[in-house]
Chains A and B, each alone.
Chain A
Amino acid sequence: MWIRMLAAMLVATLLLIALLSANPDYRLFMPGLLEGAVLTVEITLLGAVLAVFMALTAALAKLYGPLPIRWLSTTYIEIFRGTSALVQLFWLYFVLPQFGVFLDAFVVAVLALGLNIGAYGAEVVRGAIISVARGQWEAAIALNMSKAQMLRRIILPQAFTAMIPPWGNLFIELVKSTSLVSLITLADLTFKAQQMNQSTLKTVPVFTLVLLMYLAISLTVTIAMRLLEQRASRGLTRGRVA
């Protein structure tokens, strides 16, 4: 089964990290890299929260908001999907101060990545909401629910199940894009790796460990999302009820 294979890969990755760090050449780098990994995980988690919030807001605004709000959310989605995450990061970090807005590098990282992934997520949420069967809306109208009630009780819970797999992909995307924050001086996993590489020139141990650590983080996210998917689809029958 797929989850078993992923779990096996995760265990193998962690074992490999443990085995390698028995070697003094590798152990030397472990404390610094782990410190970086903690920052990477922090940015990922905060970025994910912001992304989900932005995605829900933008998708609902684009679907049901009044016209100006709809334009606003479309503009947000197109701008953040249409430019590089790196350019967005640089813009928030280097350009905003010129307009008198000074943000901490950590805040910039969470903002830029959260807004970036949120824009992709908005389309995922919108697609999932649209894909809920029409009859569900009609039944909710027949039951005299208000629009907010329909969304909260009927539509979103069903859309939620359809959203999980694409959100899994986006969260992996997020984990990987956190490596960009090293370029705005945040001491994440990638930054630490570069620093250690430049100071010790022990390229192979440093980058091997970093690759394995990212792999472990990504695999954990993938496994968590698969489990969530299983949990959410429990009791659901696929396809139409006979």
Chain B
Amino acid sequence: MWDWTFTFEILPVLARAAIMTVEATALGFIIAATVGLVLASIRLAFPSAGVVVTILVELIRSTPLLIQIFFLYFVLPKAGIVLDAFTAGVAAIGIHYAAYCSEVYRAGFENVPRGQWEASIALNLSPWNTFKDIILPQALPPVVPALGNYLIALFKETPLLSAIAVLELMQTAKNIGSETFRYTEPVTLVGVFFLVMSLVSAGIIRMLESWLQRR
């Protein structure tokens, strides 16, 4: 039922694919964290533009990531923008999670006491300096754990990239399966890999959380 020699045979192949998964996760999260911050900041700076951002966020959150990946990969080329599978996939994941992250940042901004804004006005700081030096440093640390949760969620969505044939972990496991007709070992190994990585990163986030609270 379970063949150990086969397991060790495919382990190096899967390990190489795991690097691709981690790369996609890192790039996707960088996009999510920065675009999310931009969206939340727009909402903060221009309340009138907030409605547009709200609708945009609601649209992105209400449609499946898989469809968004297909959209970027299949529909954008019709408009003349051709992205390779990896770029399209990472961009879709990044933008999808940017919508979630912007809500997290918003909670962070709303958490900063009003007096901080008023004090900045009293000190005659420009809006930009207020935002950069006073509000952001206070808004970010409390939302780090929430962002971390989305990092793990994003990491677990990367197997979706296999649907547009990015050679990440899941796609590699599927390829091994279709070549050898053995799905048990590769798919189980992928599951174990995700479980271990999620548990480890959940532990790191918990440590980070308690460290931030202690400060």
Q: Which of B59, B71, B160, B187 contacts A90 (CB 8 A)?
A: B187
Tell me, rounded to whole Å, the shortest Cβ–Cβ distance linking A3 to chain B. Answer: 13
Please name 6 pairs of A and B residues whose Cβ atoms are closer than 8 Å in the assembled complex, sorted by A: A78-B199, A83-B198, A84-B156, A84-B194, A180-B160, A214-B64
Q: Are A207 and B67 in contact (CB under 8 A)?
A: yes
Q: Are B188 and A222 in contact (CB under 8 A)?
A: no
Q: How far is the CA of A190 from the CA of B156 in the complex (A)?
A: 20
Is B70 in contact with chain A by the CB < 8 A criterion? yes
Is B151 in contact with chain A by the CB < 8 A criterion? no
Question: Which residues A199-228 have CB closer than 8 A to chain B?
Answer: 203-204, 207-208, 210-211, 214-215, 218-219, 222
Smallest CB gap from B59: residue in A: A215
Is B23 in contact with chain A by the CB < 8 A criterion? no
The 7 A-B pairs of least Cβ separation, nearest first, read: A218-B62, A179-B64, A94-B183, A176-B64, A82-B198, A179-B66, A86-B159
Q: Are A94 and B187 in contact (CB under 8 A)?
A: yes
Is A99 in contact with chain B by the CB < 8 A criterion? yes
Question: Which residues B126-177 have CB closer than 8 A to chain A?
Answer: 156-160, 162-163, 170, 173-174, 177
Is A183 in contact with chain B by the CB < 8 A criterion? yes
B177: which A residues are within 8 A, CB to CB?
94
Q: Are A218 and B63 in contact (CB under 8 A)?
A: yes
Interface size on B, residues (CB 8 A): 38
Is B42 in contact with chain A by the CB < 8 A criterion? no
Is B61 in contact with chain A by the CB < 8 A criterion? yes
Tell me, rounded to whole Å, the shortest Cβ–Cβ distance linking B18 to chain A. Answer: 13
Tell me, rounded to whole Å, the shortest Cβ–Cβ distance linking B107 to chain A. Answer: 14
Say whether, besides A83-B156, A94-B183, A99 and B71 are in contact (CB < 8 Å).
Answer: no
**Residue positions of B touching A, CB distance < 8 A:** 1, 55, 58-59, 61-67, 70-71, 74-75, 78, 156-160, 162-163, 170, 173-174, 177, 183-184, 187-188, 190-191, 194-195, 198-199, 202
Q: How far is the CA of A211 from the CA of B64 in the complex (A)?
A: 8
- Looking at B67, B74, B187, the one whose CB has the most chain A CB atoms below 10 A away is B67
Say whether, besides A84-B157, A94-B177, A79 and B195 are in contact (CB < 8 Å).
Answer: yes
Is A107 in contact with chain B by the CB < 8 A criterion? no
Q: Are B170 and A87 in contact (CB under 8 A)?
A: yes
Q: Are B187 and A91 in contact (CB under 8 A)?
A: yes
Say whether, besides A98-B184, A218-B63, A83 and B71 are in contact (CB < 8 Å).
Answer: no
Q: How far is the CA of A178 from the CA of B65 in the complex (A)?
A: 11
Q: Which of A82, A94, A211 contacts B63 (CB 8 A)?
A: A211
**Residue positions of A touching B, CB distance < 8 A:** 9, 78-79, 81-88, 90-91, 94-95, 98-99, 172, 175-180, 182-183, 190, 193-194, 197, 203-204, 207-208, 210-211, 214-215, 218-219, 222
By secondary structure, the A interface counts as helix
Q: Which of B62, B157, B159 contacts A222 (CB 8 A)?
A: B62
Q: Are A87 and B159 in contact (CB under 8 A)?
A: yes
Q: How far is the CA of A78 from the CA of B203 in the complex (A)?
A: 13
Tell me, rounded to whole Å, the shortest Cβ–Cβ distance linking B128 to chain A. Answer: 31
B63: which A residues are within 8 A, CB to CB?
176, 211, 214-215, 218
Q: Are B183 and A95 in contact (CB under 8 A)?
A: yes
Tell me, rounded to whole Å, the shortest Cβ–Cβ distance linking A81 to chain B. Answer: 8
Smallest CB gap from B160: residue in A: A86
Q: Are A193 and B67 in contact (CB under 8 A)?
A: yes
Q: Are B66 and A190 in contact (CB under 8 A)?
A: yes
B173: which A residues are within 8 A, CB to CB?
90
A9: which B residues are within 8 A, CB to CB?
55, 58
Tell me, rounded to whole Å, the shortest Cβ–Cβ distance linking B198 to chain A. Answer: 4
- Looking at A9, A176, A210, A215, the one whose CB has the most chain B CB atoms below 10 A away is A176
Q: Are B187 and A95 in contact (CB under 8 A)?
A: yes
Smallest CB gap from B195: residue in A: A82
B184: which A residues are within 8 A, CB to CB?
94-95, 98
A210: which B residues are within 8 A, CB to CB?
67
Q: Are A91 and B188 in contact (CB under 8 A)?
A: yes
Say whether, besides A95-B187, A214-B67, A83 and B74 are in contact (CB < 8 Å).
Answer: no
B162: which A residues are within 8 A, CB to CB?
86
B75: which A residues are within 8 A, CB to CB?
203-204, 207-208
Tell me, rounded to whole Å, the shortest Cβ–Cβ distance linking B118 to chain A. Answer: 27
